[in-house]
Structure 1
């Protein structure tokens, strides 16, 4: 594991949810205040909706992709198409590795088969995100 995966694991062990752990581990790289990112991603943990939605680690990673790619052109938003492509790449890679991006499926809530633990999801999201960042800078 690299520095980012270690940092994300440390944050998760400290009590950050999966989205917060992933997104906050990249705050230094993007010059974003960690407390602000923590607050912005708080509702994305536990699969948004008590395990019914997208894995928090994936949500946190997609949040960082917006920081990477958005032009922040408020008058004429012009970068979302490319951001959607990057997000799709991340989601598809994560899903191919773990068979799902839905929290309750990853945790085996209905099937009893755990596809990936929260720490594993965090690690995967960070690794996939780092690869995309490296390729698209």
Structure 2
């Protein structure tokens, strides 16, 4: 399969949030339509609802892991464990490469700041993109998806 990393970055730089950009780039591989994927991933952006908690790209990786190997039977402990192990593995790789999986830490926000005052997203301007590492974080997460989920044998 051709790499879609740049597609994810392009989505982000066209105005979609970080979670949408990673999740939607790959959701079709698992049979999910674009509109549903956009709606599902939307609230996960900016560290879940702009609260600056777990990075939206990390949430997107977890959701894609669920599409690939998530459990559908509550009694299937093996499937649950497999899914959780994959999420941990991807999160650990992201943390190792980027230093954290927490949005506010990745953005260099003061440690005392718990979340943005407003839920309203910042205007997407050239300055916005230049002042944040988010395009690189989208690329990192997309790369991890390709390395760890898409290269898995069925």
Q: TM-score, normalised by structure 2?
A: 0.78
**Contact kept in structure 1, 2:8 and 2:25, CA below 8 Å:** yes
Partner of residue 58, structure 1? 58
1: distance between equivalents of 2:20 and 2:91? 17
Are the aligned partners of 2:18 and 2:45 in contact in 1 as well (CA < 8 Å)? yes
* Offset, 1:5: 0.8
Structure 2 residue 145 is the aligned partner of structure 1 residue 126: no
Mark the runs of 5 or more structure 2 residues left unpaired by the alignment. 112-131
- Quick check: 1:22–1:60 contact (8 Å CA) kept in 2? yes
Off by >6 Å, runs of 4+ in structure 1: none
1:80-119 matches, cutoff 5 A: 80-110=80-110, 117-119=133-135
For structure 1, the residue ranges without an aligned partner over 5 or more in a row are none
Aligned partners of 1:51 and 1:102 also within 8 Å:
no
For residue 27 of structure 1, report the CA deviation from its aligned partner: 2.0
The structural deviation recorded for 1:30 is 1.0
Count of residue correspondences: 131
- Structure 2 CA distance, aligned partners of 1:48 and 1:71? 23
Q: CA RMSD in A?
A: 1.8
CA–CA distance in structure 1, aligned partners of residues 59 and 139 of structure 2: 13
User: 1:57 & 1:66 partners in 2: Cα distance?
Assistant: 14
